[in-house]
Amino acid sequence: MTKEEKPIYMGDPKAKQKEIDRITENTIKISYEEMVQLGKMASYTMDDYLATITPKMTRERALRIRNLRSNNSWRIVAGATYLEWGMDAAWVPQNNQLAGMALCQIAAELLEEDQTKEPWV
């Protein structure tokens, strides 16, 4: 793969290089139409996560997620939260990036913090 063919990584600024390499090592080329379809599917999935996670969020959980996010990617936040929440965690795979994003958004809102500022970004 040449530099010009490098996959698009619409990533998390807190993802470590090792995590980025693992995610992007076996990429495939997709068309614009496929990218649009994937975007729509991601939007529906995010809406579902927001709807299912919000009622399960408590202040204690929000503080824990805030702490996790301070040094970790959305995937790591999702994975750690999945293990801690047990049956309340309803996303697959455990380290789903969209689930991590939803967890952080909901936690920031509950704590009345700006999710576009540290430690959320």
Is residue 4 assigned to a domain? no
Whether residue 20 lies inside any domain: the answer is no
Instruction: Flag whether 65 is in a domain.
Output: yes
Give how many domains the chain has, as a whole number: 1
Number of CB atoms found within 10 A of residue 95's CB: 19
Q: How many helices (H) and strands (E) does the chain have?
A: 5, 0
- Looking at residue 15, its pLDDT comes to 80
Nearest to 49 by CA among 85, 21, 14: 85
pLDDT at 9 over 70: no
Domain presence at residue 61:
yes
Q: Is the pLDDT of residue 61 over 50?
A: yes
Q: At what angle do helices 74-85 and 97-110 cross, to 10 degrees?
A: 80
Residue 7 within any structural domain of the chain: no
| Residue 58 located in a structural domain | yes
Instruction: Tell which phi-psi region holds residue 33, choosing left (phi > 0), alpha (psi between -120 and 50) or beta.
Output: alpha
Assigned domain for 10 exists? no
Token pair recorded at residue 113: 């913090």
Q: What is the pLDDT of residue 10?
A: 57
d(CA 108, CA 30): 34
On whether residue 9 sits in a domain, the answer given is: no
Tens-digit pLDDT profile for residues 68-78: 999 999 999 99
C-beta atoms surrounding 27 within 10 Å: 13
Residue 64 CA to residue 83 CA, distance in Å, equals 13
Could you tell me the residue range of the domain that residue 93 belongs to? 30-121
